[in-house]
Structure 1
Amino acid sequence: MAPLPAAIRIAQTVGITASAFCSGSIFGISFLSVPTLLIAPSPVLARQWQISFDRGKIMNPAIALVSIISYSYLSYRLYGTLNHPKAEMYGLSALFTFGIWPYTIFGMMPTNQKLFKKYDEMKGLDVGEKATEVGLAKGESTKELVDKWGMLNVGRGLFPLVGAVLGLWATLA
């Protein structure tokens, strides 16, 4: 069997690495950042979550997009040009990595919206240790919402992880 072109090898490396990195970044937020954030008083927590969210919404979708483009290129090139049986695996890798968007919109957006509201409510509050949520709108506390968000975020991290595993499997099998 002839060796694959360099462009294919580069796309394999970029796709797998990017989706694995994206998954690790998402998991890192849930397993490392969220428990640390939960120590803060609610006004600080709301601000910290918002900053973390704003940074993550820029970085992780961009990394996922690089991975999706790489996997899509592999699927197209291997299926269309080389008639390669692994093209479907790369297509699935792209679809799973893409899954972070619908999961975020349909699974996480209600919690995100509540946290955005908490952030807006607490903008002017004292950030001292004694600051509480007394007098704010009824409902889940900021800590409960951030904890819930962290668990939902673990679900989101599974999508690019499955994409990376499928991409690696297609590459090595």
Structure 2
Amino acid sequence: MNHGAGGMGSLSAFVIPVFLDTNVAADHMLRQWVRLYHYGHIYMPAVCIATCGIFAYAFLDKRRSSSSSSSKHHQSDPSRSAASRYGLAAVSTIAMVPFTWLVMAPTNNTLFRLESLGSTVTDLALVRTLLVRWAWLHAVRSLSPLLGAFVAFTGLVQELGARGE
């Protein structure tokens, strides 16, 4: 349902450790991180927005169908419950954006600043520490769309179960 969460998680779990294990020069490690960021920045925001859009569409569709329902048991309407799950999934998915701006930006900015200094950056321990911090923050951020996918999936299961009753 959400390939972005898996892709993001892979960066923290696999790519950054490879950088840490194979680099002996701080400036080279920084260049690699900047390229990783560049390609991730092209793909991941679009996936996040598309996924959030799909969940928002499902939320609005289910909310509309539950409001037009003539059921006397309006509160127990599966469409209403599914709608709230899809709405929560949309919010959870897009929550990675403010997390990035508020929590990750200082580390990102430091890494970009160091990379702009080029070969004058020789403190490998500092760069490694920053990349480890970035990987942990990125892993935490990856939980946001993953939670969104899980919540949406539970809404779908709930809907399918209600149809089978």
TM norm structure 2: 0.83
Note the residue ranges of structure 1 that are not aligned, 5 or more in a row.
Answer: 1-16, 135-139
Note the residue ranges of structure 2 that are not aligned, 5 or more in a row.
Answer: 68-78, 159-165
Give the AA of the match of 2:43.
M
The structure whose residues are more often helix, as a share, is: 2
Give the AA of the match of 1:95.
V
1:156 aligns with 2:156: no
Mapping of residues 7-156 of structure 1, within 5 Å: 17=1, 20-39=2-21, 40=23, 41-83=25-67, 84-85=79-80, 86-122=82-118, 125=119, 132-133=122-123, 141-156=126-141
Report what 1:4 is aligned to.
none
Q: Output the CA distance in 1 between the equivalents of 2:51 and 2:6.
A: 14
| Pairwise CA distance, 1:58 | 1.3
State the percentage of identical aligned residues.
25
Q: Output the CA distance in 2 between the equivalents of 1:31 and 1:55.
A: 17
Q: 1:107-135: per-residue Cα shift (whole Å, max 9, x none)?
A: 1000001000111012xx28xxxx8339x
Q: 1:132-162: per-residue Cα shift (whole Å, max 9, x none)?
A: 339xxxxx71111011000000110000000
Give the AA of the match of 1:94.
A
Report what 1:5 is aligned to.
none
What is the number of equivalent residue pairs in this alignment?
144
After superposing on structure 2, the runs of 4+ consecutive aligned residues of structure 1 that deviate more than 3 Å are: none
- Aligned alpha-carbon RMSD (Å): 1.6
TM norm structure 1: 0.79
